Amino acid sequence: MNRSTARAAGLAALVLAACTSPGGGAGEGMGFFVTSVGPGQGGDLGGLAGADRQCQALATAAGAGARTWRAYLSAAPAGGAAAVNARDRIGSGPWRNAKGDVIATSVDQLHGEHNNLTKQTALTEKGALINGRGDTPNRHDILTGSTPDGRLATAAADTTCGNWTKGGEGSAIVGHHDRMGLRDDAPSKSWNASHATRGCSQESLRATGGDGLFYCFAAK
């Protein structure tokens, strides 16, 4: 299958999901959003559990609290627990945004070439656009701690702000929700694995174009 045929097949799958998946807009139909706000403590999200609570609270406020929400975040092995891969936390899809647009129909499509995650579709739980490159302030750095295929990033000693408990020193891998960066290359265009942050404080995250935001997916 050549690239154009594969792309057409991927888009066809998205259209099919849009026609057959239940609901649309906020409420039970929404299965994906970018947090409109973070906890305000940089990379300290209260661990994975705290980030999940943030997702659940924002979804509930938007009328989608009946679903089980998980933060798209990876975590390093700690305390005898194994590494956590973001892709394993989010269910099987399909996922719609607050406007009813299908983001992806499966985990594989989400992490492949043909997902529908762009600045126009990576909306908050309220259905609002998030500032990207060229906007003031730029907020396109989205915390993930992950590789392009959704697994724990291990390129440095700390890629998750201490498993999302550090709000000062440390670093985390972020993606660009607007698929834009300083260069015309794959990392700059990656929604989940663009670069490391300068630190884990709110100020450090803002210095590279972020605000402590992260992706939320309905796992059930």
Q: Inform me whether the pLDDT recorded for 13 exceeds 50.
A: no
Q: Give residue 184's pLDDT.
A: 87
- Hey, which residues does 196 pair with through a beta bridge? 173
Q: Give Cα separations from 3 to 6, 14, 113, 114, 148 (angstroms).
A: 5, 17, 10, 10, 19
| Cα–Cα distance measured from residue 166 to residue 45, given in angstroms and rounded to the nearest whole number | 8
CATH class, 23-218 region: alpha beta
| 119-137 pLDDT per residue, tens | 999 999 999 999 999 999 9
Nearest one of 43, 72, 52, 65 to 203, comparing CA atoms: 43
Report residue 27's pLDDT band, with 50, 70 and 90 as the boundaries: low
Rounded distance, CA 127 to CA 168, Å?
Answer: 31
What percentage of the chain exceeds 90 in pLDDT? 84
- Domain extents in the chain: 23-218
Both ends of the chain: CA-CA distance in Å? 33
Structure tokens at 3: 């690239």
The CA–CA distances, whole Å, from 136 to 101, 120, 139 equal: 26, 17, 8
Measured between alpha carbons, how far is 131 from 41 in angstroms, rounded to an integer?
Answer: 20
Other C-beta atoms lying within 10 Å of the C-beta of residue 2: 7
CA distances to 9, 83, 103, 186, 190 from 130, rounded to whole Å, are: 29, 30, 16, 21, 16
**pTM for the full predicted model:** 0.87
DSSP state of 177: T
At residue 3, does pLDDT exceed 50?
Answer: no
CA 215-91-1 angle, to 5 degrees, is 90
